[in-house]
Structure 1
Amino acid sequence: MDEYWVAVIWSLLPTVVVSAIFFFVLRSVIRADRNERRNYARIEAQERAKMGMPPRDADPAVEPSSPASP
């Protein structure tokens, strides 16, 4: 009976290891994207402030999407 459980563990181990690696790689990609977007927004806000432009959220040229009226 012990050989059965050892075989089960050895057969599941590659799947678990690959899944863990995939999880950590995907998590790092998502974090890197989030940090890059945050830094880009910060730099853009600094540049807009240097040029005397309003913040991006207050820019009237950029209209927020509104739900369609019936």
Structure 2
Amino acid sequence: MGATWGERAAYPGGVDSFWVAALWAILPTIVVSGLFFWVLRSIIRADRNERREYARIDAEERAARGLPPAATTTEQ
């Protein structure tokens, strides 16, 4: 069912299989979703590390000034 001589295929090499065509159709969505997940994960990790570092610096500053440690709150 591929392209006969003189016809142009929709894809280079012709996609005759339903599953190959389905893969080519869903592949961009999977790649963009993976990229989005990776970017979001990197942002969340950077925020977590930044908060941890600010807490460490704050604790050092409070200790240097002789203040008691800051109260920690836990949200439920």
TM-score, length of structure 1 as denominator length: 0.77
Counterpart of 1:3?
17
Tell me how many residue pairs correspond in the alignment.
59
For the pair 1:12 / 2:12, whether they are aligned, the reply is no
Structure 1 unpaired stretches of 5+: 59-63, 65-70
CA RMSD of aligned residues (A): 1.9
Bigger Rg, which one? 2
Structure 2 unpaired stretches of 5+: 2-15
Counterpart of 1:39?
53
Counterpart of 2:37?
23
Moved >4 Å (runs of 4+)? none
Instruction: Report sequence identity in percent.
Output: 64
TM-score, length of structure 2 as denominator length: 0.71
Distance in 2 between the 1:20 and 1:53 partners?
46
